[in-house]
Amino acid sequence: MDNEFLREVQRNGEIYLEGQLKIALAADQRAVALGGIMATASSIVLGFGIAHDLPTCFVISLGLIIASIFAFTAIRPVKFPIAGYDPDDWVEDISNGASLDDRVYNEIFAHLHSRIAKNNLTLEKNARYLNYSIMTLILTVLLGVVLGGLAYQAVP
């Protein structure tokens, strides 16, 4: 097979890995911001509930804490393969006098595919946690509205 074509396939695989890293970093930034806002809001709501003896605030605060835990779970440290290769990966090939033939390119492509697949799984898992966080936040707000309405009706 043409080496120029094989180099282009390799280059595009590495570009794909770089793109995945950018997506992961952007998702982490969203999760950090959302988790931080919800943790702060939870503290404020809890403090207000304690100061004014409002049980509804405790429930809302708990929902916000759970939502922030989901968001922070999405940003936990994980292995995330990046573009490029450790030169140590090539020591054996170099000492054996290997050239960039189809066999070596097949190994490179298999390695790239494996890294891309692992990253996709990590991105999907972290997106699921961020979605759990957002859904918990929405349910908490709705619950707060319902509980607040019930509490308001109970006041003489």
Q: Residue 97 carries which DSSP code?
A: T
Q: Look at residue 22 and tell me if it is in a domain.
A: yes
Q: Look at residue 9 and tell me if it is in a domain.
A: yes
For residue 129, what are the domain limits? Answer: 3-151
For residues 13, 14, 16, 22, the Cα torsion angle rounded to the nearest 10 degrees is: 170
Q: Look at residue 67 and tell me if it is in a domain.
A: yes
What integer pLDDT is reported at residue 92 of this predicted model? 80
Contacts of 87 (CB under 8 A, 6+ apart): none
Average pLDDT along the chain, 156 residues, taken 10 residues at a time: 82 94 96 97 96 92 97 93 81 77 82 94 97 97 92 80
Q: Look at residue 139 and tell me if it is in a domain.
A: yes
Does residue 84 come out as left (phi exceeding 0), alpha (psi in the -120 to 50 range) or beta? left
Q: What's the total number of domains in the chain?
A: 1
Q: Look at residue 156 and tell me if it is in a domain.
A: no
137 close to 45: Cβ distance less than 8 angstroms: no
Predicted TM-score (pTM) of the model is 0.83
Specify the residue for token string 């940003």: 75
101 close to 61: Cβ distance less than 8 angstroms: no
Q: Look at residue 142 and tell me if it is in a domain.
A: yes
Q: Look at residue 98 and tell me if it is in a domain.
A: yes
What integer pLDDT is reported at residue 95 of this predicted model? 81
Q: How far apart are CA 34 and CA 124, in angstroms?
A: 18
What integer pLDDT is reported at residue 20 of this predicted model? 96
What integer pLDDT is reported at residue 1 of this predicted model? 62
Q: Look at residue 25 and tell me if it is in a domain.
A: yes
